[in-house]
Structure formats: C-alpha cells, structure tokens
Amino acid sequence: MDANLIQYLPDWFRQIKDYQYLIQTETGQFEILAALIDAVHQNFYVSTADEGTISDWENLLHIIPNAQIETQDFRRARIINRLSYNPPFTLPYLYNRLDLLIGKGKWAVTVDYGNYTLYVEAAAENQAWAGEVLATINTIKPCHIVYTSRPLLSAALRISETVSLSKAVYNYRLAYWGLGQLPFTSQEDLGVIVTADQSTIKTALLNGVASYTASDVAKARINGSIEITNFLAKEASGDTATISYAVAADQAAIITQIELLNAAGGVLEKAPVYIPVSDPVNITHRIPVKEGTA
C-alpha cells in the first residue's frame, strides 16, 4: 500500500500550500494504517508472525516458551513443527522430523527392539532442540517404547610433525681461544625439511595417542561441580577415543557445561551445552585423532 497521497492529486492542487500540509498530515496516518495492514498479512504465516501472534499460537498449542534461551526464529520453527504432525507415524517419518529439528547428518537413531527402547544420538551443541525432540517423539512413538537421549560431543584431536635441519658451527680455531666468550660450538639452522602439511604420521602413532587419551580421562564434571567417575565406556578403537557416562535427573535438571578431567584434576576438555534432563541421559565424547593442522 502506497501511503504517499500527494501523487493522487491533480498537478495544479499539488502547488497549493494548504493541500501540501493537509496531505503531509494524512500521509502519516496512512503510513500507520499501511503498517497495520502489512502486519495482518505477515501474521497469516507463522514464519513471519510477530511476537503477539507467536504467543497466541503457543497458547493454542500449550507451549510454554523460555524467553532466556529461545529466539523468535526458534519459537516459529517449533510451532511449524507442532502444526506439521501428520500420521501415519513411522521410522522414516521420525527421520524426517529429526532432519528438520536437528539437521541432516547430525543425529543417529538406534532401536533396541528386545527392550522396547528408542535411542536418539545427537550433537550436544544442538540440544536447544532437545525439549522439542522429546515432545515430538512422545507424540509419535508407541506408548510401550521408551525414548532415551544420547547427547554426543565429537571434536578431533589433530597432531602434526615438522623436521628441521641444522649443523654444528665451531666458534674457535686452533691456537685461538677466547675463554668464556662463546660456546665451543653452536647450531646453525638450515631450515625445515618436512613441513606440518606433509603426511608423515603413521596409524600406529594415531592409535597410540587415542589409547592414551582414553586412559588419561579419570572423571567427568557436570556444570562445574558434579563429578562422575563411573563410565559406561572409556576405550579406544583404532584412532578414536570414546568416553561415555550417564547423568540422572536428580543430579542435574539442565546440563549447561561438561568437562573431562585427568587424575590430577586438570581439565582435558570443556564444552558449553544445553541438555534438559527429564530422564537419565547418556553423554558420549568421541575424540578421533587425525593428522593435520585443521
């Protein structure tokens, strides 16, 4: 809607001061009207709705928002997810939902049919969606299936090698000796002969570093204070170290930080996360050891 009203007047009216001031006043009112009409149009669609309409949708769908951690874009996406539930609910349907909520390639689903348990493993950095994943799965899964979340952290440990060449330089000649002025010999640097971007490290070393990394972890620490020493897994397979442990709901309602520590209390790994804990969750750290600088 074009609120510039003066363009609708005949040319000879546009030159009159009275009409100019009148149109100037009316234009401001029409701009407000145009903005309100545009807002109504935008509110027809969840993806462009304003705060008030988002709140109306949340009330309708019985969603309680958390303004401290949830953006408007997140709240819009959550509403769209709730409105798009469309049976029949199958595993392919669940996979599609997880692609939309977490992202393609960022999750893994395991079904333990014998124990009627559904495991969903996803990167802990994406656990802002954990509450919505929980709500979605509880809506579409059969009642006798138990859902268990497995937050995952995966960060590669990279090692590289450089080889330098130098030669010994004698600072004194026969019959000439300035005692204490210089060392008898010094090293002259001739430069790097193997650079860090060359592939020189073999599998045995990568596997050895992964094995040492797994053995060096003595405990996990949750939210800076809760220490866990009982591990579900603390092992190395090939060039990848895996550390896994469980966190119960009575230990932490929400996990915001996780750390891995050695026996001396030194922090080996530290990551900010957001993991709501309504039921026990298993947290897995996978640390692949790779050659390279990036």
pLDDT surpassing 60 at residue 160: yes
Residue 213 within a domain: yes
pLDDT at 70: 82
The model's pTM: 0.64
Please tell me whether residues 252 and 211 are part of one structural domain: yes
- pLDDT tens readout for residues 24-64: 888 888 888 888 888 899 899 999 999 999 999 999 998 88
Please tell me whether residues 253 and 237 are part of one structural domain: yes
Please tell me whether residues 180 and 209 are part of one structural domain: no
- pLDDT tens readout for residues 204-220: 999 999 999 999 999 99
Please tell me whether residues 208 and 276 are part of one structural domain: yes
Please tell me whether residues 271 and 210 are part of one structural domain: yes
Please tell me whether residues 264 and 283 are part of one structural domain: yes
CB 241 within 8 Å of CB 99 = no
Residue 26 within a domain: yes
CA distance 31 to 244: 59
| DSSP strand pairing (254-261 vs 117-123) | unpaired
49: which residues sit within 8 A by CB, 6+ positions away? 42, 43, 57, 76
- pLDDT tens readout for residues 182-192: 777 788 888 88
Give the count of domains, the chain: 3
Q: How many CB atoms lie within 10 A of CB 148?
A: 16
- pLDDT tens readout for residues 121-138: 887 665 567 778 888 888
Please tell me whether residues 182 and 216 are part of one structural domain: no
Q: Which domain holds residue 176?
A: 162-193
pLDDT at 285: 92
